[in-house]
Amino acid sequence: MAQRILGIDLGTSNSSAAVLRQGKPITIPSREGASPSGKNFPSVIAFTPGGLLVGLSALRQAAANPQGTATAFKRKMGSPHKYVFQGKEYAPEELSSILLRKIREDAETHLGEKVGKAVITVPAYFNDSQRQATKKAGELAGLEVVRIINEPTAAALAYGLDKKGSHTVLVFDLGGGTLDVTLLEFGAGVFQVRATSGDTQLGGTDMDRALVDHLAGEFQKSGGADIRGDPLAMAKLREAAEQAKIILSTETRTGVNIPFFSRDPQGAPLHLKVPLTREVMEGVLRPIVERCRRPLLQVLADAKMDPAGVESVILVGGPTRMPLVRRFVEGVLGKRPEEGIDPMEAVAQGAAIQGAVLSGETGQVLLLDVTPLSLGIETLGGLMNTIIPRNTTIPTKAGELFTTAISGQKHILIHVLQGEREMVRDNFSLGRFMFEVEPAPAGAHRVGVQFTIDENGILHVLAMDTRTGKRVDHTIQSVVNIEEEKVEKMVRESLEHAMEDMKARQTAETRNELDLMVRATETGLADLEPRLSPSEGETIRASLAEARAALPTDDYTRLKNARERLDKSTQNLARLMMDEIQKKTQGAPPGPK
Amino acid sequence: MTSAACPKCNTPGEAVFCPRCDTLLPPRELDHFTLLGAPRRPWLEEGPLKEAYHRLSMRLHPDHARERREDAVVWSSHLNKAYATLRDPRDRLQYLVSLETGSNPLGPGTAPVTPDMMKLSLEVQKFCQAFDPWSSRPPRASPMLAAGRALEKAEHEKRLATLQAAVAERRRRVMEEIRALDARWTTGERAPLGKKLAEQASWLSYLNKFDSLLAERLLALRSGTPIAPEPFH
């Protein structure tokens, strides 16, 4: 029999592995048993004086040793970020490889055979360099990575394995660090991804951070010190916050109690005791959950589908166990998520199924994935020209003809890009190469550029001079060039430029706002005046009159004062109006018609 | 040059597999209809097309045709392209016309624009011009401003729904027209239909554009995020 291929879900907070046995996915236990989260391998590595700890044993000591513990390194995959432990530098993929090695060894122990090959999952929204880094991590761990597949797709494979007929499924995969939303169709064993969207920087870790921040604030409010700068206290709080989050998925109230939490300036011990209800927690987390709305709607728009076309909704990932998240997804799609999917194990199981396809063990299943991001090349003026649009099924082949722009040009630079933005600088660069041509007048050369993406998602670029028949074949290797700081700086600078003509803008903006408020107040008065006291109505009318008088002027201070006055007098009316608007809009289910 | 000899039994074949021993033939540029075994006509039902695609994928994808991987990558690239083209009515019509006439048709702008299409186009444009600056305005803390915005949001939502309904209605009429042309097509009267089909494809291009402009704005409205810069294609 062909060698078994291990399916690995390499998660931000937790990892898991599975193989297919007699057509059924079997989860690989870790030597230490199951972790509190449910997955078997916490994605945690600890560097201790006693040696390296990986997985559950590393997680157990994390609160006591925050400096020597590596977590969430998946978020840095494909970036030039370096971690330092015990004076030694580690790239994110090296840390991942330590975890993968542990998983491989435990799998070998459990299966009683060597494991040399694996299918590893990544967020659908990972770009090329993040995928390459994942592949490298596997190789460093002694695994041949036969395929990288997308996490939500893997989950859908596990879900659809024994389903009959054809079906449209939406997978909402909110993990520790990333959100993926994928829409698939399956029928006759074929799983075809229709569209995928997501956010690589949104997940349970953000929820934990918001919750920790809230608890630290509550602790301070109740007379405690500000412990935000104390790494040890923060590590304890993080652990307690995660616990509370899990408890509040089933209970409606709990308390966060940490005795001997920290010390006051005099050295006396401080205890932390903060009650927490589900309602309060949901208030803290709602803005984060709300960020999931856009990707969810984007996927439907990309697939040109309305929510009613989705037949099943699958939730994957730890945070989807929270009632808040389930309610949110149900609210957007108007459909109750499927029960009976293990949100923690489905991804690894799907990877195992794909592993069995690639080892030839099963021929009943076929996964047709898409390119999550558009691919193209740079053209004149710093613009990206898309050759393969996002959500194209792979394998795929597409090409375009380009001409030289300058007379006597000797080279054409072919700069390969990935992303959705118009300007080159806003996209990821995957690499560049030179194509030499005979000097000739501008436009004389026609160079065909052909992109091929194979079943492994690897991009091959072929450039060909149509006149001479000369060809250059180029396979895109890993290119690491997303430096987050640089990106942040770019965003900051663009904001600063926007501030330049501040003065004129301020006046114009204030006038616009005042105008809007005047119109809104008029509407509000017309509908709701009987519900206001006579004196309140009068105050509003007076400030309304002043606002109308201020509107035609260019006097910034007067406009501003009028706005403030109107704002103050209409607080109550505005609240009544919002209630009315909400009453009216409720009941209409969201989603494109 | 669409026929090839079977690598196993040397029988010549026109399609994907050897007519005698069912072996995968060397990759060639078959037209999309032939590749998917679909009738060459303007109207195709989605179900049978999808079934054919799934059936062929199972055999042509490199994950399954492992012993002929290189060929399989080429075949399934063709297959994916063929299915993506034929399942989309606009792409299918354009492809069909170019196949029949040898000429390359015709995106928006080639057919003379009818008054109703022009009117729809202006309405969509007007809406976008009003909506986009509104959408990117930063939120403010004032309750009355928020109430004002909520009122405007409801207005935008109403306008958007009306426009979407108008686009959908226009699309329904185009589809009807395509079905009528399809009926004439199958009775043999092909040559004069090319121009009419290209025209319908052109309408669909406009409608697709309107739909995507509106969908993008609906997304911004529903998610409370500003309108994103339009992806460049």
- Interface predicted TM-score (ipTM) of this complex, two decimals: 0.83
Interface contact flag, A593 B168, Cβ < 8 Å: yes
Q: What is the pLDDT of residue A222?
A: 80
Which candidate from A397, A422, A512 shows the least CB-CB separation from B229? A422
Q: What is the pLDDT of residue B224?
A: 77
Q: What is the pLDDT of residue B114?
A: 79
pLDDT (tens digit per residue) in A287-345: 999 999 989 998 998 888 888 999 999 999 889 999 999 999 999 999 999 887 788 88
- Report the percentage of chain B scoring pLDDT > 90: 48
Distance of CA A97 to the CA centre of its chain: 22
Mean pLDDT of B134-148: 81
B91 close contact with A: CB closer than 8 A: no
pTM, two decimals, is: 0.80
Interface contact flag, B150 A188, Cβ < 8 Å: no
Rounded distance between C-alpha atoms, residue B101 and residue A344, angstroms: 55
Nearest 10 degrees: Cα torsion A549, A554, A557, A560: 60
Rounded distance between C-alpha atoms, residue B166 and residue A534, angstroms: 45
Name the strands in the sheet holding A167-174, side by side, starting at the edge strand that comes first in the sequence: A312-316, A167-174, A179-187, A190-199, A366-368
Distance from CA of B100 to the nearest CA of A (A): 22
Interface contact flag, B222 A452, Cβ < 8 Å: no
Judge whether A185 counts as a catalytic residue: no
Pick from A428, A495, A547: nearest CA to A131: A428
Pick from A292, A285, A303, A281: nearest CA to A329: A292
Which candidate from A374, A455, A517 shows the least CB-CB separation from B145? A517
| pLDDT above 80 for B232 | no
Q: What is the pLDDT of residue A476?
A: 67
SS3 content of chain B, % helix, strand, coil (to 5): 65, 5, 35
List of residues 6+ apart from A465 with CB closer than 8 A? A435, A437, A445, A446, A447, A471
Rounded distance between C-alpha atoms, residue A176 and residue A245, angstroms: 13
B99 close contact with A: CB closer than 8 A: no
Q: What is the pLDDT of residue B110?
A: 56
Is residue B216 a contact partner of residue A304, using CB atoms and an 8 Å limit?
A: no
Interface contact flag, B219 A189, Cβ < 8 Å: no
Name the strands in the sheet holding A459-465, side by side, starting at the edge strand that comes first in the sequence: A396-403, A446-453, A459-465, A471-475
A570 vs B contacts (CB less than 8 Å): 143-144
Residue B223 DSSP class: H
Mind listing the pLDDT tens digit of every residue in chain A (593 residues)? 568 899 999 998 899 999 999 888 999 998 887 666 667 899 999 999 988 999 999 998 988 888 899 998 998 998 899 999 999 999 999 999 999 999 999 999 999 999 999 999 998 878 888 888 999 999 999 999 999 999 999 999 998 888 878 889 999 999 888 899 999 998 888 999 999 888 878 888 899 999 999 999 988 888 777 888 888 888 888 888 988 988 998 999 998 888 887 777 777 888 888 889 999 999 999 999 999 998 999 899 888 888 899 999 999 988 999 999 999 999 999 999 988 778 888 999 999 999 999 998 888 899 999 887 889 998 877 888 899 998 899 999 999 888 777 777 788 888 899 888 888 888 888 888 888 888 877 777 788 889 998 888 888 899 888 778 888 887 765 333 334 444 344 434 434 444 444 566 677 778 888 888 898 899 889 988 888 898 999 999 999 999 999 988 888 889 989 989 998 899 889 888 888 887 876 544 444 33
List the helix and strand counts (H, then E) for chain A: 15, 26
Rounded distance between C-alpha atoms, residue A348 and residue A474, angstroms: 33
Interface contact flag, B152 A516, Cβ < 8 Å: yes
Pick from A298, A220, A282, A284: nearest CA to A248: A282
B158 close contact with A: CB closer than 8 A: no
Amino acid at A591: G
| pLDDT above 50 for B231 | no
| pLDDT above 80 for B226 | no
Q: How far is CA B188 from CA A109, A499, B33, B174, B183, in A?
A: 69, 66, 18, 21, 9
A580 vs B contacts (CB less than 8 Å): none
Q: What is the pLDDT of residue B109?
A: 47
Interface contact flag, B144 A570, Cβ < 8 Å: yes
Which candidate from A190, A294, A374 shows the least CB-CB separation from B223? A294
Q: What is the pLDDT of residue B228?
A: 57
Rounded distance between C-alpha atoms, residue B202 and residue B93, angstroms: 9
B119 close contact with A: CB closer than 8 A: no
Given the structure tokens 């987390």, which residue do they identify? A285
Interface of B with A in 24-83 (CB under 8 A): 50-51, 53-55, 57-58, 61-64, 66, 73-74, 76-78, 80-81, 83
Is residue A563 a contact partner of residue A510, using CB atoms and an 8 Å limit?
A: yes
Which candidate from B61, B74, B218 shows the least CB-CB separation from A366? B61
Judge whether A555 counts as a catalytic residue: no
A427: which 2 tokens? 């996209």
Judge whether A9 counts as a catalytic residue: yes
pLDDT (tens digit per residue) in A256-293: 888 887 777 777 888 888 889 999 999 999 999 999 99
Distance from CA of B71 to the nearest CA of A (A): 11
- Report the percentage of chain B scoring pLDDT > 70: 91
How many Cβ atoms sit within 10 Å of the Cβ of residue A171?
31
Hey, what domains does chain A have and what are their CATH numbers?
A: 5-202+292-368 (3.30.420.40), 204-288 (3.90.640.10), 375-485 (2.60.34.10), 505-585 (1.20.1270.10)
pLDDT (tens digit per residue) in B172-225: 999 999 999 999 988 877 767 888 888 899 889 889 989 988 988 988 888 877
pLDDT (tens digit per residue) in B11-34: 998 889 999 999 999 999 899 999
- List the Cα angle A55/A61/A67 in 5-degree steps: 100
Amino acid at A461: V
Tell me the backbone φ, ψ of residue B118, rounded to 5 degrees. Answer: -60, -40
Rounded distance between C-alpha atoms, residue A205 and residue A319, angstroms: 9
Q: What is the pLDDT of residue A373?
A: 82
